[in-house]
Amino acid sequence: RPPPPATHLKDPDMFWDFISLRPETTHQVSFLFGERGTPDGYRFMNGYGSHTFKLVNEQNEAFYCKYHFKTNQGIKNLLPEKAQELEGSDPDYSTRDLFNAIADGNFPSWTMYVQIMTFDEAEAHRWNPFDVTKVWPQKDFPLIPVGKFTLNRNPKNYFAEVEQIAYAPSHLVPG
């Protein structure tokens, strides 16, 4: 529901109204309010490609794919009190932590995995594999290790090397 029209101020009930009316948010909210609530910076969190992607191999065979990036530093979270303090005093805490770690030679890394689903498996699956509110069961689609990526240098120009690259389809790997 929108904010009150007279004041346009946020209403704390709006969040809970949204959650209660959108059951697909349950998975993400359980992370938010669970033990994995607030990561202690980017180095200590996993990453996931929410969307389903299509990969094409050298034989021109296509498969659906989900990406998983597991931190090699281990999961580490902030206590709620510390997270609230940083929100007001240092909202760039995670970016600063990552930059400083790399500058100090403490290069963070993640192991990359994929889950693969054939087109036939997608047709027969019990839910839509493109539904971003669902995860693919690892017992049905196990994680396949692909490799490791390491952040071993900071950008000299953040806009040119990080932000701008995300907007150029020409930077995509073929396939």
Read off the pLDDT of residues 45-102 as tens digits, 9 standing for 90 and up. Answer: 999 988 899 999 999 999 999 999 999 999 999 988 898 899 889 999 999 999 999 9
Select the more confidently predicted residue: 136 or 132: 136
The structure tokens 């609230």 sit at 84
Contacts of 171 (CB under 8 A, 6+ apart): 165
The amino acid that residue 4 corresponds to is: P
- What pTM does this model have? 0.80
Q: In sequence order, what are the beta bridge partners of 39?
A: 77
CA-wise closest residue to 110 among 36, 48, 175 = 48
CA distance 134 to 51: 10
**Residue 76 contacts residue 128 (beta carbons within 8 Å):** no
